[in-house]
Structure 1
Amino acid sequence: MKFPANLIEKARDIHSDRPKYCFRLDKVGASGLKVPIRVNGFVLLGNVNVYTSLPDNRRGVDLSRQNSVVYQVANSARSLEEFVILSAEELLDVIPYSDAAEVSVEVDIPQDEANAFGSYRTMISSFISRADKRKNRTRVELVGITACPCTQELIRTYLADIGESTSIPATHTQRSIGILDITLKEDHISHRDLAAIVEESMSSPTRTLTKRPEEASLVMLSLFNPKLAEDVVREMLFLLLERFPRIPDDAYVISSVRSLESVHKHDIYVERSAFVGDLRRELEGSKRP
């Protein structure tokens, strides 16, 4: 049954009513929209959140207008970054009573064949206000391997004590989830560059398609490059500063690792969050004698 069009015009628009309690709302919109987006020749299904602010004198937002915007922009956007920026800008055009808009997309990005068909997860968002306040956020999450240097040193000491020696002492390894999250006023940082930093900071990468020689290579690489979860978080921060020397001091960074421990019944978690300017000062201070 189709609702009669003439009755729609007669019905009161509840959304435009004055609310019982007149508070401004920061975010109103749809969470978890499934939107197909083109990324590097692939059509990926993105998990999209779309929000606009709501003034204190309006009861509700026009949700269908919001949703229409992101599906329309997805047809022409050439990148994830362009998708969120153009969507947020368009929302302010079609929702005139809102003074701010935010759009985010989360999607798994395929890696190339050299990475044996692996992937990493990225979340990209853009916040824009009518006062021209902007926040562009890029977050990547990638799985790698960490090998424990502490246990390796104990095994090395034990072998030396009993007269044995080896150039690659054993230790426990585990899959570790690294996250690098950057928010800044300027353009988004490349999610591929951030994913490369996370992967390089691990003891070794993980791969999807491997045969025994490749598996042995990954294990040997991790044993030659043992790292604590703390080491990985610090290395991600260092590589970020090294590879993006022009990133502004007021950019905000979150670097974290969750180590899915193989010898414990719990995980290990490490995190550092700070403004880039503070990280630069810490790094310079550590170089002084």
Structure 2
Amino acid sequence: MKLEDIQSLVPENKISLDKVGIKGFKYPVKVLDREKGVQHTVAEINLYVDLPAKFKGTHMSRFIEVLNEFGGEIHMKNVIKLLKRLRKKLSSKSAHIEMYFPYFLEKKAPVSGIASLMEYQAFISASYLKRKRDLIVGVEVPIMTLCPCSKSISKYSAHNQRGKVTIKVRFKKFIWLEELIEIAETSASSPVYSLLKRPDEKFVTEHAYENPKFVEDIVREVAKKLLEHPEVIWFSVEAENFESIHAHNAYAFIERTKS
């Protein structure tokens, strides 16, 4: 028995749509890792194509079929290839992907040297349209900040807190996530660690005290490093502090296209 293809029917309102597809799909993937070659993780994936005015709906199953063809191997070097395949599979003009995933690095405590895994939130966003491609890679990095104003006016100590730096880049050649993580961590008062012994805690506390930073300072420092990076052609940077003594967070943002 032949089943009617409802999606291919002509809609009542013949209006083309910019993006249709699947959203929030959890899928095991293999991403590129600078030290180990590849890293296995689980991504939340959004996949879209455009929909012409003559079609009632898109074929959702075909999005999953394309993902399955790549066997979970989706990363910066082949994501455009996936979009080309998706565009062909769904007979569309454009294809888009947004992929969010936890990325883990082994990180040593600053004094004891004890290694432990640290989690970062990474993402890839890409589009393909008529041989034009766009690829943005980014990462959200947890950091520690110590307030310069609090240090300046206080007889003892200064308020400090965790925060996060989010970096997004477009680039000429391949850039490792590890590079972006290093840029963010070295621009903060101190990195954050998943495992610290007492000598490590002492070091982190004193290091942060000697490197007070506003969110504005952090964003400017990250921006300076990205402006100097030979492969980066566009970037955005945002920093947010989860303020420990205020009833609000502190925030700063910059976006630049390099000439």
Between the aligned residues of both structures, percent identity stands at 28
Shift of 1:31: 0.5
Does 2:100 match 1:106? Answer: yes
How has the CA–CA distance of structure 1 residues 231 and 133 changed in structure 2, closer, same or farther, with 3 Å as cutoff?
A: same
Shift of 1:247: 3.0
2:19 paired residue number: 27
**Aligned partner (choices 220, 232, 238) of residue 247 of structure 1:** 232
Does 2:89 match 1:94? Answer: yes
- TM-score scaled by length of structure 1: 0.81
**Aligned partner (choices 158, 170, 188) of residue 171 of structure 1:** 158
Shift of 1:18: 1.1
| Conserved 8 A contact 1:108-1:122 | yes
Could you tell me how far apart the structure 2 residues matched to 1:256 and 1:232 are?
A: 9
2:75 paired residue number: 80
2:113 paired residue number: none
How has the CA–CA distance of structure 1 residues 190 and 81 changed in structure 2, closer, same or farther, with 3 Å as cutoff?
A: same
Could you tell me how far apart the structure 1 residues matched to 2:147 and 2:227 are?
A: 26
Does 2:65 match 1:68? Answer: yes
Counterparts of 1:230-245 in structure 2, within 5 Å, are: 230-242=216-228, 244-245=229-230
Could you tell me how far apart the structure 2 residues matched to 1:72 and 1:127 are?
A: 19
Query: AA paired with 1:180?
Result: I
- TM-score scaled by length of structure 2: 0.90
Shift of 1:83: 4.8
Q: Which secondary structure state, in structure 2, belongs to the residue aligned with residue 209 of structure 1?
A: coil
Structure 1 unmatched ranges of 5 or more: 1-5, 160-168, 278-289
Shift of 1:80: 1.9
Report how many residues are paired.
248
Q: Which secondary structure state, in structure 2, belongs to the residue aligned with residue 80 of structure 1?
A: coil
Could you tell me how far apart the structure 1 residues matched to 2:200 and 2:164 are?
A: 21
Could you tell me how far apart the structure 2 residues matched to 1:236 and 1:51 are?
A: 32
| Conserved 8 A contact 1:35-1:71 | no
Could you tell me how far apart the structure 2 residues matched to 1:210 and 1:216 are?
A: 9
How has the CA–CA distance of structure 1 residues 187 and 88 changed in structure 2, closer, same or farther, with 3 Å as cutoff?
A: farther
2:119 paired residue number: 119
Per-residue displacement from partner, 1:114-149 (whole Å, max 9, x unpaired)?
A: 2631121111122101x2111101121011001111
Could you tell me how far apart the structure 2 residues matched to 1:22 and 1:274 are?
A: 39
1:58 paired residue number: 55
Could you tell me how far apart the structure 2 residues matched to 1:217 and 1:151 are?
A: 20
How has the CA–CA distance of structure 1 residues 25 and 179 changed in structure 2, closer, same or farther, with 3 Å as cutoff?
A: same
Shift of 1:187: 5.0
Shift of 1:188: 5.3
Could you tell me how far apart the structure 1 residues matched to 2:42 and 2:194 are?
A: 21
Deviates more, 1:65-74 or 1:226-235: 65-74
Query: AA paired with 1:123?
Result: F
Shift of 1:231: 0.2
2:151 paired residue number: 152
RMSD between aligned residues: 1.7
1:166 paired residue number: none
Query: AA paired with 1:71?
Result: N
Per-residue displacement from partner, 1:149-185 (whole Å, max 9, x unpaired)?
A: 1111112xxx5xxxxxxxxx6211110111111245x
Question: Whose RCO is larger (CA < 8 A, sep 6+)?
Answer: 2
Q: Which secondary structure state, in structure 2, belongs to the residue aligned with residue 262 of structure 1?
A: coil
1:286 paired residue number: none
Q: Which secondary structure state, in structure 2, belongs to the residue aligned with residue 32 of structure 1?
A: strand
Q: Which secondary structure state, in structure 2, belongs to the residue aligned with residue 65 of structure 1?
A: helix
Q: Between Structure 1 and Structure 2, which shows a larger proportion of strand residues?
A: 2
| Conserved 8 A contact 1:30-1:51 | yes
| Conserved 8 A contact 1:136-1:188 | no
Query: AA paired with 1:154?
Result: I
